[in-house]
Copies of this chain bind each other. A is one copy, B any other.
Amino acid sequence: MDRAEKLSINDVARLAGVSKKTVSRVINNEPNVSPKMLKKVQSVIDEYNYTPSPQARALSLRRSFLLSIVHDNPNASYVTEAMYGALEICRPAGYELIMHPCDFSKPNAIDRIIRFASHLKIDGVILLPPVSESVELTSRLKEIGCNFVRLLSTKSEDEVHMIYHNDGAAVNRIVSHLVELGHREIALIRGPENSQAANQRFAAFRSALKNKGLELPKNRVALGGNTFQSGIECAEWLLMSKHRPTAIFASNDEMAIGAIVTAQKMGLKIPAELTVVGFDDSPQASRMWPALTTANLHVREMTELAAQKLIAQCSGDIDAAAQVRVEVEPTFVQRQTTDVPATSAENA
């Protein structure tokens, strides 16, 4: 059915014996086209399987039909989920998706993102954490008139679109679970200090413990970098201590898995001798033994929402300009790393 030569609106117009403007009206479902014309044009379109050139439309309409996900990627699965979520929405809407990884720690990172967006006239950008936490970036994006939605870890007080998972609630749920299992000596492997998400999870964790009447001494908090390797190092440090914790909560799965590997190397049985909880529900969490208890953040759904919002906004939806502020409740996923009640854990 496809011809090798892609034909243009002019070809279609000629074949149908009408002006190109009429063809344009038909493809765009504009009103005021007589049924006769419509049928004539539509049949040519169908026969030759004509689709209008995205580049030409982009040039004429000053929009690109391009959405982009901008991310600084320590966490591949988060990004992958986001990608599939966005694609789910983009495809049927006639939008394409461009993934834009970056190294956000570089000094000119924001410049590069801005140049990228304005160069391609990207219609909308979905910002993933930690890129989404930058106020400078969002204000620069506003400056150039680029739509964006932020995916965040926690509600922010800004006035700009955001979709966030309620980390606090998830952390509470996790702490309750650990306490119910009888744990009292719970350590934290937290994320980097320049990450809002990490700071907020840390705060939520500490206050959750406090509510349970538990302490969080300094030697029970290890500072990680959200990476597997840092999980290993933090766990070594935590588990070497004289009175080692009976449970570790890592503020992402990567680090939790690093901790588990460390524990296993040391010969500790999980969960019997050490209980571990992560945060993310990455694919690996369910593909290991024992499988990791964690929190699923519904990144995919969040990104679908973000893409919908952006596309609606581009299409000039009346109320699409309204501020977006959606909260998504993470789901607690219990697996084998928290399968066994705490033991007294008297160790050397």
A residues at B contact (CB < 8 Å): 1-2, 4, 6, 49, 51, 53-56, 58-59, 64, 76-77, 80, 83-84, 87, 96-99, 101, 111, 114-115, 118-121, 143-145, 228, 254, 257-258, 260-261, 264-265, 283-284, 287-289
Question: Are A2 and B118 within 8 A (Cβ)?
Answer: yes
* A257 and B49 alpha carbons, distance in the complex (Å): 46
Which residue of the partner chain, among B97, B98, B101, B121, contacts A53 with CB atoms under 8 Å? B121
For the complex, give the distance between the alpha carbons of A260 and B265 in Å.
16
Residue in contact with A76 in the complex, picked from B114, B145, B283, CB distance below 8 Å: B283
A119 touches B284 (CB 8 A): no
User: Complex Cα distance A258/B291, Å?
Assistant: 12
Q: Are A2 and B144 closer than 8 Å at their CB atoms?
A: yes
Tell me the smallest distance from the CB of A338 to a CB of chain B, in Å: 17
Instruction: Find chain B residues with CB under 8 A from A83 CB.
Output: 99
Q: From B2, B55, B119, give the contact of A121 (CB < 8 A).
A: B55
Give Cα A283–Cα B287 distance, bound, in whole angstroms. Answer: 13
A77 to B118, CA, bound (A): 31
Interchain CB contact (< 8 A) of A120 among B54, B77, B87, B288:
B54
Chain B residue with minimal CB distance to A119?
A: B51
- With a CB–CB cut-off of 8 A, which chain B residues contact A101? 84, 87
| Shortest CB distance A121–B (Å) | 7
Q: Tell me the complex Cα distance, A59–B53, Å.
A: 9
Q: CB-CB < 8 A to A99: which residues of B?
A: 83, 87, 97, 99
When distances are taken between beta carbons in the complex, the residues of chain B under 8 Å from A56 are: 59
A199 to chain B, nearest CB (A): 25
Further 11 A-B residue pairs, CB within 8 A, beyond A6-B144, A49-B115, A265-B289:
A1-B111, A2-B143, A51-B115, A53-B59, A54-B119, A55-B55, A55-B64, A96-B120, A254-B287, A261-B288, A288-B288
| Residues A80 and B76 in contact, CB atoms below 8 Å apart | yes
Most buried by B among A77, A97, A260, A284: A284
Give Cα A152–Cα B115 distance, bound, in whole angstroms.
36
Q: List 5 A-B contacts (CB under 8 A).
A: A2-B114, A51-B115, A59-B59, A97-B98, A99-B99
Q: Chain B residues with Cβ under 8 A from A120's Cβ?
A: 54, 96
Task: Give the shortest distance, in Å, between A225 (CB) and chain B (any CB).
Answer: 15
Q: State how many angstroms separate the Cβ of A273 from the closest Cβ of chain B.
A: 15
Residues of B contacting A257 with CB < 8 Å? 287-288
| Separation of A77 and B258 alpha carbons in the complex (Å) | 19
Task: Kindly list chain B residues whose C-beta atoms are within 8 Å of the C-beta of A115.
Answer: 2, 49, 51
| Given A120-B96, A288-B288, CB of A59 within 8 Å of CB of B51 | no
Whole-angstrom distance between the alpha carbons of A279 and B54 in the complex?
Answer: 41
Contacts of A260 in B (CB 8 A): 289
Q: Cα distance A49–B2 when bound, in Å?
A: 41
A114's nearest neighbour on chain B, judged by CB, is B2
Given A59-B56, A87-B101, A101-B87, the answer on whether A4 and B261 have CB atoms closer than 8 Å is: no
For the complex formed, measure the closest distance between the CB of A108 and the CB atoms of chain B, giving whole angstroms: 11
Closest residue on chain B to residue A80 by CB atoms: B76
Among residues of B, the one whose C-beta sits closest to the C-beta of A143 is B4
Task: Evaluate contact between B289 and A287: CB separation under 8 angstroms.
Answer: no
Structural contact, B144 and A4, CB atoms closer than 8 A: yes
State the Cβ distance, A283 to closest chain B Cβ, in Å: 7
